[in-house]
Amino acid sequence: EIVLTQSPGTLSLSPGERATLSCRASQSVSSGYLAWYQQKPGQAPRLLIFGVSSRATGIPDRFSGSGSGTDFTLTISRLEPEDFAVYYCQQYSGTLSYTFGQGTKLRIK
């Protein structure tokens, strides 16, 4: 099973700042099947990025994904107040097994 480790655990920033969230895999992620989700309290997760760098429908272009192999990054170029939430990365290994990272909490400084 591929283990995903996200860092930092908590990130404190101010609106307007740039956020960089990291996701590291224990082995190479198959065919670039790496996704990012945003989750707010009491809500279901929302898909932001799939296939490492493709934005899901309706996701603003301030969200971008990058990386390859075992190291991936979600960048939020300029934080809006509604961006403060928990973010998860997720991989699909191609053997019909999916894993999530433990999450990064993005909080207002």
Partner 1 sequence: EVRLVETGGDLIQPGGSLRLSCAASGFTVSSDYMSWVRQAPGKGLEWVSVLQSNDMTYYADSVKGRFTVSRDSSKNTLYLQMESLRDDDTAVYYCARGARGAFDVWGQGTMVIVAS
Contact residues: partner 1, CB under 8 A: 1, 31, 33-35, 37, 39, 44-47, 50-51, 56-57, 88, 90-92, 96-103
User: What is the smallest separation between the CB atom of 92 and partner 1, expressed in angstroms?
Assistant: 4
Given a contact cutoff of 8 angstroms between Cβ atoms, the answer to whether 88 and 95 are in contact is no
User: What is the smallest separation between the CB atom of 16 and partner 1, expressed in angstroms?
Assistant: 28
- Cis before residue 15, ω within 30 degrees of 0? no
Pick between residue 13 and residue 45 the one whose CB is nearest to partner 1: 45
Pick between residue 1 and residue 61 the one whose CB is nearest to partner 1: 1
- At 35, phi and psi to the nearest 5? -130, 160
Distance CA(3)–CA(101), nearest Å, equals: 7
Pick between residue 12 and residue 54 the one whose CB is nearest to partner 1: 54
β-strand partners of 74: 21, 65
